[in-house]
Amino acid sequence: MGRRLRRRPPADHAQRAEWMRKHPFEWLEVSTYPATYSAHVIARAIRTGDRVEMLRHYGPAGVFETRTTTTEDGTTVDARFIGEAVNG
């Protein structure tokens, strides 16, 4: 039987987005997801400013950068605020 992953509390996206806006260009762990697919969906939604209810704090598109890392517990999503989007 496989190793059972411990359940982590859900990410407080509002708190994380606010912290990143106050600390531009500093990476912050958003959360670790047991499924790689889930981590990549979250990372994409943060980058694109997707209006998914729990991710609405990361808009507009292009103001956050993300990276994913494979860990013992799954896939970790890190993000950082890189500045306001340029309208062009």
**pTM for the structure as a whole:** 0.82
In a domain, 57, yes or no: yes
In a domain, 47, yes or no: yes
Mean pLDDT per 10-residue interval, the chain, length 88 residues: 61 93 96 95 90 79 94 96 70
In a domain, 14, yes or no: no
Q: Which residues pair with 28 in a beta bridge?
A: 79
In a domain, 5, yes or no: no
In a domain, 83, yes or no: no
Q: Which residues pair with 29 in a beta bridge?
A: 78
Task: Give the total number of structural domains in the chain.
Answer: 1
Q: Which residues pair with 76 in a beta bridge?
A: 32, 69
- The answer to whether the beta carbons of residues 49 and 58 sit under 8 Å apart is yes
Q: Where are the alpha helices (DSSP H) in 7-76?
A: 13-22, 36-48
What is the pLDDT at residue 39?
A: 95
Residue 45's CB: how many other CB atoms inside 10 A?
A: 20
